[in-house]
Structure 1
Amino acid sequence: MKVTLFAAVSVAISGANAAVGMWQQCGGINYTGDTTCVSGAMCYKYNDWYFQCIPATTTTSPSSTRSSSSSRQSSSTSTRSSSTSSRSTSTSTRTSSTTTTSPSATISPLHDIAVSKGKQYFGVAVDSNELANATYKVLLDDRHLWGQMTPGNKMKWDATEPSRNTFTYSDADALVVWAQGSGKEIRGHTLVWHNQLPSWLTNGGFNNATLVSILQNHVTNLVTHFSGKVKTWDVVNEIFEEDGSWRSSVFYNTIGEYFVDIAFRAAAAADPNVGLAANDYNLDYGGSKVTAYVNLVNRLKSRGVKITQIGSQSHLIVGSMPSYSTLVSNYNAFVATGVDVAITELDIRMTLPVTDALLAQQRKDYNTIIRACMAVPRCIGMTVWAYSDYYSWIPSVFSGEGAALPFDDQLKPKPAFYGIVDGLNGITN
């Protein structure tokens, strides 16, 4: 569709000293800053509240229609509370529909902005069924919007080793081929997790030595298969409880805490160049869980085990966010151990129905966490757990909650999207 310019807000391109930078806000209700964009940009009205400097040559943006699909499975359980299994195979009831006042908007290139500000990427989680949705895929393909991809489920144990020592990679391979073709780096997710395990493994009754062999074999096979394609692996996922104690799992209960060392050593041996991460939720708030991961990194390093990153999933709740300073402090606690940090599964859910007030708060909350990552040089990138509410895992797991992502279920950007853009540009909402 044609980009519509509004005479009241379209401004002449000039070399004014106070010109607004590309992709930054240049107008809107209660906005008090400059309205003149830098050379090569124009001030475009998305809605009454938000005008933005965009390239003057932009003329089109993808339109969208809905198509049916099953709901996403997630590797997370809860935010600030325990939960049952996060798997869902049902089709979610999408009562979380939200709309914006702009029927067609030019989409700011989140990845390009992030890279221009010193980050490695802005990314998105993807599952195979989403690639079959041609409308959804229009924005998914955009390498300027998303520069990184995390497979939601197709690299997990039940998907890749459904029976012992029989590996199936077709679905994961398809995602990798697509990601490479659309210019996205790939995060492997996940090698060792207490959830989404095949029954042969959980019910096998294996002794210590046998389970160690199974673990080494699985990690070695996956990392070798995707060597040179995956940039970073989530080697272990959700291994600690909220109080910092070890989570009960077939691996911990049989092998003890050294299952973590074994997994990291096997991954490093299979691909010496790949990044290796531990990933978990509720690392945003500080406390015992953050301390447990800081201590884990220090122990692994003291034993000569390679670990390069902590992944903070960041499944959060509108209006219940940790403060900007708390987020920065937690990220820096990980960085102080000598590893990078990344936001790996970001979404911020709300209690339905959606209201304007909740959308406004969600925008502030997204803005807060993005600014926090931008403030920490070794917070290397941010990934949203799908980009649209249409494919969110939240409604199928948290009853009465949803609308957690920056695009609504009609694939239109919500206020949260503009909060992200501002956050990348260091602007506080």
Structure 2
Amino acid sequence: MRLPTSTLLALLPLASCQLDYWAKKAGLKYFGAATDTPGFRERAPFPQSYSKYDAIFADPKEFGQTTPTNGQKWLFTEPEPGVFNFTEGEVVAGLAAATGKILRCHALVWHSQLAPWVETTEWTPDALRAAIKRHVAGVAGHWKGRCYAWDVVNEALDEDGTYRKSVFYNVLGDEYIKLAFQAAAEADPGAKLYYNDYGIERPASVKTAGAKRIVKLLKDAGIRIDGVGMQAHLHADNHPTMQDHVDTMEAYAALGVEEIAFTELDVRIKVPVTPKNETKLAWQKESYQFVAEACVRVKACVGITLWDFYDPFSWIPDVFPDNGSALLWFEDFTKHPAYDGIVDTFKRLAANGTRAVTTRRFRA
């Protein structure tokens, strides 16, 4: 049985809840963490993990925003053609509402975690156009008015910056991107509409050039795109500098997008890693601090989302077996040095008034 929020908060020491509080003091709209339904949390090292985890997640001073890690993806929301199921996504949407968090929604059109029928159907262009429109209208329409933003198209780029040869691109070319954004704007007109991808955080990256091409594609067609989501799945030993992040975000903003956000932040470390491994953890701390400072310094950057916050629930070890400890809480719920590094960065920038000089006012 899930404990009420008031009970969860009572489990926390009063001084522990700071990330969202200090992010807002520094001028950001939110600092958040993605989460998943309990059944999708891959590793629970001991039973009491869930109550401690839930207490940290629930506190509004720690996290002011969340994203459903899996529950809004095509695999779960439209498992059969025209048959919608919103159960998984509603779990996290409900948690956001119960704990007063901004809900970023993720993701409408993505080549991965598709329902099998999407990939096995022999599509004609007209049939696939209709399927994309139906899916976006059904899913974004269901959560209409509850999502601050939607990751409308996710990871449309290959590693070399060209378009990924997905089922959508193979049939429709880049038209599918336009269709998805048009349908999202109609289904949930109050939500911010984002293009979201990884590897688009460095100014000279070929994928960054590809992301800018997508923004221009939509802008030139008169189709609304409000934001660029930089996933920021970073490496502790080879991460972008603070200036890299600033320059990249300024380049996106120069194209006319209203917002930029770090949407899936984690900083992985080569294993083995322990709290005593000071060098690797110092690299990680620096990387997280660079993200925090860059977001405050760029007026278009609205916030930062961790891709979960508790190491045992990270996706990293499953995909990169020689990497781990990518988040801010170790298995025993002690904090990485990066936690204090982020808070100290926000405190310094808040005291200096850095954001106040550069930022515009956010619309509610």
Which TM-score applies when normalising by structure 1?
Answer: 0.74
* Structure 2 residue corresponding to 1:137, chosen from 46, 54, 64: 54
What is the identity percentage for the equivalent residue pairs of Structure 1 and Structure 2?
A: 36
Matches within 5 A, 1:20-419: 62=11, 106-129=15-38, 133-286=50-203, 287-339=205-257, 340-354=259-273, 355-419=277-341
How many residues align? The count is: 328
Deviation at 1:138, TM superposition (A): 0.5
Shift in CA distance, 284/426, structure 1 to aligned 2, threshold 3 Å: farther
CA distance in 2, matches of 1:161, 1:299: 28
TM-superposed deviation, 1:362: 1.2
Shift of 1:409: 1.2
Question: 1:264-287: CA deviations, max 9, x gaps?
Answer: 000001121111000000111232
1:370-419 CA distance string (max 9 Å, x none): 11111101110000011110211111110121000011111221101011
Q: What's the CA shift for 1:146?
A: 0.5
1:233 partner SS: strand
Over 4 Å off, 4+ runs: none
> Aligned partners of 2:253 and 2:176: how far apart in 1?
24
- Bigger radius of gyration, 1 or 2? 1
What is the distance in 2 between the residues matched to 1:342 and 1:110? Answer: 16
Q: Distance in 1 between matches of 2:207 and 2:283?
A: 27
C-alpha deviation, 1:137, in angstroms:
0.1
Q: Deviations over 1:177-234 (max 9, x none)?
A: 1111101011110000010011111001111100110000000001110001011000
Q: Distance in 2 between matches of 1:108 and 1:170?
A: 30
State the secondary structure of the residue aligned to 2:151: strand
Q: Is the 8 A contact 1:328 1:373 kept in 2?
A: yes
What is the SS of the residue equivalent to 1:425? helix
CA distance in 2 between partners of 1:297 and 1:239 (Å): 12
In 1, the alpha carbon distance for the partners of 2:234 and 2:97 equals 30
Residues of 1 paired with 2:71 and 2:270: CA distance?
29
| 3-state secondary structure, aligned to 2:333 | coil
Q: Which amino acid aligns with 2:263?
A: T
Q: 1:415–1:62: structure 2 CA closer, same or farther, 3 Å change rule?
A: farther
Structure 1 match to 2:358: none
1:420 maps to 2:342 = yes
Question: After superposition, what is the alpha-carbon deviation per residue over 1:126-166, rounded to whole angstroms, capped at 9, x for unaligned?
Answer: 00016992221000101111011100000000011111111
Between the aligned partners of 1:105 and 1:240, the Cα distance in structure 2 is 44
Aligned partners of 2:233 and 2:267 also within 8 Å: yes
Alpha-carbon contact 1:239-1:247 (below 8 Å) kept? yes
Structure 2 contact 264–307 (Cα < 8 Å) conserved:
yes
Q: Quick one: distance in 2 between partners of 1:323 and 1:272?
A: 35
Alpha-carbon deviation of 1:426? 4.0
Deviation at 1:304, TM superposition (A): 1.1
Per the TM alignment, residue 61 of structure 1 is displaced from its structure 2 partner at its CA by 7.5
CA drift of 1:322 comes to 1.3
Counterpart amino acid of residue 246 in structure 1: Y
Deviations 1:239-298 (A, max 9, x none): 012322100100000011010000000000112111100000011123221122222212
Q: Is the 8 A contact 1:108 1:421 kept in 2?
A: no
Q: Distance in 1 between matches of 2:285 and 2:10?
A: 22
Judge conservation of contact 1:328–1:376 (CA < 8 Å) in 2: yes
Q: Which has the higher helix share?
A: 2
Contact 2:67 2:92 in 1 (8 A): no
Unmatched segments (≥5 aa) in structure 1: 1-59, 64-103
TM-score, with structure 2 as normaliser: 0.87
Tell me the amino acid that sits aligned with residue 343 of structure 2. Answer: V
Counterpart contact for 1:332–1:376, Cα < 8 Å: yes
Work out the CA distance in 2 between the residues paired with 1:258 and 1:423. 42
Range that drifts further, 274-283 or 290-299: 290-299
TM-superposed CA distance for 1:62, in Å, is 3.7
| Kept after mapping to 2: 8 A contact 1:374/1:426 | no
CA RMSD of aligned residues (A): 1.7
| Separation in structure 1 between the aligned mates of residue 346 and residue 25 of structure 2, nearest angstrom | 9
- Take 1:106 and 1:115, find their aligned partners in 2: how far apart are those partners? 17
